[in-house]
Amino acid sequence: MQKMIERYSVGLCAGAIVTIGLLWVMQAVISTDKNPLNEDVTYRNLEFVKLLDDVAPVREDLRLEKPPDIEEMPPDLPDPEISLEDGGSIGTPIDVQVDVGPVEADPGGYTSDGDYQPIFVVAPIYPRRALQLELEGWVHVKFDVTETGTVENVVVTDAEPKGVFDSAAKKAAEKFRFKPRVVNEKNIRVTGVPYKITFELDDN
């Protein structure tokens, strides 16, 4: 019995000491200035940025304006008059092709049938040098008319003045087209067909 009383007495003393210690610690905590609950709280402002929606790029409609019409100036050079001995006389400006309808050919004895005939005649280009010097003249050529009506083997046989209009006349003759000669329902090649091309300046 005595031991139980001593044991309870020791427990009560120990409990009293612990209780006093706790009270002392609490008092110290309350009285101190470093209480985290008393510290000032710093607030930060949050800025919100609104994202813009995707906007399609603006396309400018660039249209080129039509340039004003430019009036064509009339040529200052006089128009040459081209005379084709076998196809009649044709007045034509420089560097212009002339379509000629079928005409009866008269080659001067080169064929007895007389059935080949010019269907397309090109006016030769008047040489610039001859225009500047106001020269006129003529060129005799001869050529072959093929089975298809084209012209081959163009040769200058005579000219006046010599060497001035030869090239222009030859180039033009190479572009002539004929209705070929037909014998027994077969196209025949005609050789040595003569043509005279005359170069004359228009008086107007």
pTM above 0.85, yes or no: no
- What's 80-201's CATH class? alpha beta
Q: What is the pLDDT along the chain (204 residues), one digit of tens a residue?
A: 677 777 777 777 888 888 887 887 777 777 665 555 555 556 566 665 666 555 566 565 556 566 666 555 444 444 444 444 443 333 333 433 333 333 333 444 344 455 789 999 988 999 999 999 999 999 999 999 999 999 999 999 999 999 999 999 999 999 999 999 999 889 999 999 999 999 998 875
Q: Provide the token pair at 93.
A: 């400006």
Q: 103, 87 in Cβ contact below 8 A?
A: yes
